[in-house]
Amino acid sequence: MSAGGPPQGARPLGGAARSAVRGEHTSATDPALVEFDGVSVVFDGRVRALDDVTLAIGKGEIVGLVGESGSGKSTLCRVLVGLTRPSSGTVRVGGQSVAQHLEQEPLAFRRRAQMLLQDAVASLSPRMTIGRALEEPIAIHNLPRTETLRVLAAILQRLGLPQEVLTKFPHQISGGQARRVGVARALLMRPEIVVADEPTAGLDVSVQGQLLNLLLDLQQDFGLTYLLVSHNLNVVRRVTGRTVVMYLGQIVDEGATRDLFAAPAHPYTAALLSTNPAVDPRKRYEPIVLQGEIPSAVNPPSGCRFHTRCPVAQPRCATEPPVLREVDAGRRVRCHFPFSLERRRH
Amino acid sequence: MALPLVSIRKLTLEASTPRGTARILRGIDLDIGRRRIVGVVGESGSGKSSLAACLIGLLPANLSRIGGEIVFDGTDLLALPEAAMDAWRGTRIAMIFQDPMTALNPLFTIGTHLVDVLRRRHPGLARKAAKARAIAALESVGIADAPLRLSSYPHQLSGGMRQRVLIAMALLVEPDLLLADEPTTALDATVEAQIVALLEDLRRGFAGSIVLISHQLGLVAQLCDDLCVMYGGTVVETGPVAEVLGAPRHPYTRALLACELDDDAAAGARLVAIPGDVPDPVSAHVACVFAQRCPHATDACRSAVPALRDAGPGRQAACVRWEELAAPAAPGMRQ
């Protein structure tokens, strides 16, 4: 681990009741299931999509990942499931690097870390029935067919998908059903880690609760570990135990979700939270409107990458890059002048 | 009360689909007051975008029937010949589209877009004067270096800048009615906040009425005067935004509010969802559209279409039971 101190995931972050429902990692002895150790990804030798990311995810945790487009969220997910190779640094799953996993037992690793893709409908071939799409991994992974099909039937029932859905084509099912088919396809592999990229994007509010309840139930029943990417801050607040905020390829703020939402330490987090329009005026944050847009990762600003838009930037911020440092138990911030951790919300 | 700018009455819209006739709008009644900002909220398939399409007269090709009336300042838009409607678009009615990437023509500069709009609104306006007004418009929406930006092409601008250009175009029209269909949905959160702040600024100087279509109740609560809640091609509730959200009359509005995740629910509490699915647009219109999913539905709800009726000052709700459900003892939707 680098500057951040001991692995985040190995620290108790909440009471037992919370950890039971939100999957916080409470045991101080278990090593983290997933460890990002100084991971950078550089595309074309110049686009720094990820920059020195160090992050630990404990078994059974639900970690939320937030940030705007271009912040590196998707790259981080792809690196975790082995779809993108880090340019430097290592990602370890269960103590072994993803590169080694992929070299030695690629299929086993792919089963272990499953990804729920953002566009659930597009992730299903339009020319295959749902049944065929779900059976394909059985052949690829050489799973016992009869038994797996029995498991599949049980999963479908669990997800509230009728058997008839198997004979349909993707265009014949609803968006919510397509999401659940994606979940079924991932669960069939009996994964340990599920990376969910915007699992509620495009879902109406009346059904997003169902899907999130389902993901929470499955986490409990199968001991799953989630990395959940969402631009919907309300979803992250309600569902995750820990939140990681990214900006231009770097982690800028990290902490127990409850603490981070109550007292954002990084000015970017504060601004992001203030953009969340609440129906109840009493629940709105003080509005912080940032100037400009997220700069290019090809030529990121000097010093602190956020200083060009930061409402409280000082001269030092333009020259000296801040390190991600621990400001409180389980709380890391990449800022020279973080906000105090008292409750800022009114 | 002053005559509304737009009075929509019994507006129906049907489209032919392979499965039969889809009832996209099932008899919409809605008034848009002068200088009011009306937020239209609803889930996908509720008909909110179709309502906007009817108002600006840009309807889907598979449309089979449109009925009712849209009286705009004394003129029924549905009775206007196509050429006359064409003259209204871009002069008295303007629209900001959801996706600023596709709403601008990639082959033309920002200046051409703005000057085109102006010369349509004010035929005979000199090029130089048009250019000056275009620059002023870009400045008013917070674009730096406006004179330089006139010669930029859309691809040279970021998403937030493009949305600002679209807003500038709409404002140059000085329309009586501005339609904004999910104007911030395609933008990143901090850019969205900028556009929301811009819209809040501009609304003070805008003399027309605005219809803001959104699926975000929070955004509508922040920006709008009035709220129109749509479900299954019908209006289920209308009224001043604070009143409707503060004490919703229709069970669907209440359910929608309960689904918002912005409450400080106890950790691990179940998330609220509305069981069931949205009504099939091909289904017949013989009952309350929400009856299938409503926890308070009775036989009366399943046997007749409830009328949109008065539900307090300036408010209407399409629920036969709203009075008894609004009583303090009524069971809420919150679980």
pLDDT of residue B264: 64
Task: For residue B3, count CB atoms less than 10 angstroms from its CB and return exposed for 0-12, middle for 13-18, buried for 19 or more.
Answer: exposed
Best residue in A66, A230, A238 for a mutation probing chain B (most B CBs within 10 Å) = A238
Q: What is the pLDDT of residues A287-320, one digit of tens each?
A: 788 888 888 888 889 999 999 999 999 999 999 9
- Grouping H, G, I as helix, E, B as strand and the rest as coil, residue A294 is coil
- Grouping H, G, I as helix, E, B as strand and the rest as coil, residue A331 is strand
Q: What is the pLDDT of residues A133-151, one digit of tens each?
A: 999 999 999 999 999 999 8
Nearest CA-CA distance, residue A208 and chain B, Å: 7
3-state secondary structure chain B: CCCCCEEEEEEEEEEEECCEEEEEEEEEEEEECCCCEEEEECCCCCCHHHHHHHHHCCCCCCEEEEEEEEEECCEEHHHCCHHHHHHHECCCEEEECCCCCCCCCCCCCHHHHHHHHHHHHCCCCCHHHHHHHHHHHHHHCCCCCHHHHCCCCHHHCCHHHHHHHHHHHHHHHCCCEEEEECCCCCCCHHHHHHHHHHHHHHHHHCCCEEEEEECCHHHHHHHCCEEEEEECCEEEEEEEHHHHHHCCCCHHHHHHHHHCCCCCCCCCCCCCCCCCCCCCCCCCCCCCCCCCCCCCCCHHHHHCCCCCEECCCCCEECCCCHHHHHCCCCCCCCC
pLDDT of residue A162: 85
Protein fold of B6-92+175-326: Rossmann fold (3.40.50)
**Cβ(A12)–Cβ(A26) below 8 Å:** yes
Reply yes or no on whether the pLDDT at A322 is more than 90: yes
ipTM attached to this prediction? 0.78
- Residue of B161, B189, B273 with shortest CB distance to A275: B189
Instruction: Tell me the domains of chain A and their CATH numbers.
Output: 8-333 (3.40.50.300)
Q: What is the pLDDT of residues A216-264, one digit of tens each?
A: 988 888 889 999 998 888 889 989 999 999 999 999 999 999 999 999 9
Please, which pLDDT band fits residue A276 given cuts at 50, 70 and 90?
Answer: confident
Pull the structure tokens for residue A260. 């981070």
Reply yes or no on whether the pLDDT at A27 is more than 70: no
pLDDT of residue A342: 62
pLDDT of residue A44: 86
**Cβ(B173)–Cβ(B121) below 8 Å:** yes
Q: What is the pLDDT of residues A90-110, one digit of tens each?
A: 999 999 999 999 999 999 999
pLDDT of residue B268: 65
- Residue of A212, A279, A294 with shortest CB distance to B257: A279
pLDDT of residue B308: 95
DSSP 8-state symbol, A189: T
Q: Which amino acid is at B9?
A: R
- pLDDT tens for each residue of chain B, 335 residues long: 578 999 999 999 999 888 889 999 999 999 999 999 999 999 888 999 899 999 998 887 778 889 999 999 999 999 999 899 999 998 999 999 888 888 999 999 999 999 999 999 999 999 999 999 999 999 989 888 899 999 999 999 888 889 999 999 999 999 999 999 988 887 888 888 888 888 888 888 899 999 999 988 888 998 999 999 999 999 999 999 999 999 999 999 999 998 887 656 666 678 888 888 788 888 888 999 999 999 999 999 999 999 999 999 999 999 999 999 887 644 444 43
Length of chain A equals: 346
CA distance A242 to A257: 5
List CB contacts (< 8 A) between A242 and chain B: none
Between residues A280 and B198, which one has the greater pLDDT?
B198
How big is the A-B interface in CB pairs under 8 Å? 117
Reply yes or no on whether the pLDDT at A30 is more than 70: no
List CB contacts (< 8 A) between B188 and chain A: 68-69, 231, 293-294
Pairing of strands B209-214, B177-181: parallel
Instruction: Output the average pLDDT for chain A.
Output: 85
- Grouping H, G, I as helix, E, B as strand and the rest as coil, residue A226 is strand
The answer to whether the Cβ–Cβ distance between A209 and B272 falls below 8 Å is yes
- Residue of B189, B194, B272 with shortest CB distance to A231: B189
- Residue of A212, A271, A278 with shortest CB distance to B190: A271
Pairing of strands B93-96, B177-181: parallel
Reply yes or no on whether the pLDDT at A4 is more than 50: no
Pull the structure tokens for residue A342. 């008292």
pLDDT of residue B266: 62
- Grouping H, G, I as helix, E, B as strand and the rest as coil, residue A107 is helix
User: What is the phi-psi region of residue B310: left when phi exceeds 0, alpha when psi lies from -120 to 50, beta otherwise?
Assistant: beta
Please, which pLDDT band fits residue A12 given cuts at 50, 70 and 90?
Answer: very low
Nearest CA-CA distance, residue B262 and chain A, Å: 6
Put simply, whether B221 touches A (Cβ < 8 Å) is: yes
List CB contacts (< 8 A) between B157 and chain A: none
The answer to whether the Cβ–Cβ distance between A275 and B190 falls below 8 Å is yes
Please, which pLDDT band fits residue A69 given cuts at 50, 70 and 90?
Answer: confident
Q: Which of A198, A218, A206 is nearest to A64 (CA)?
A: A198
Reply yes or no on whether the pLDDT at A18 is more than 90: no
CA distance B164 to B202: 12
- Evaluated on CA atoms A213, A215, A220, A222, the torsion sign reads positive
Nearest CA-CA distance, residue A239 and chain B, Å: 8
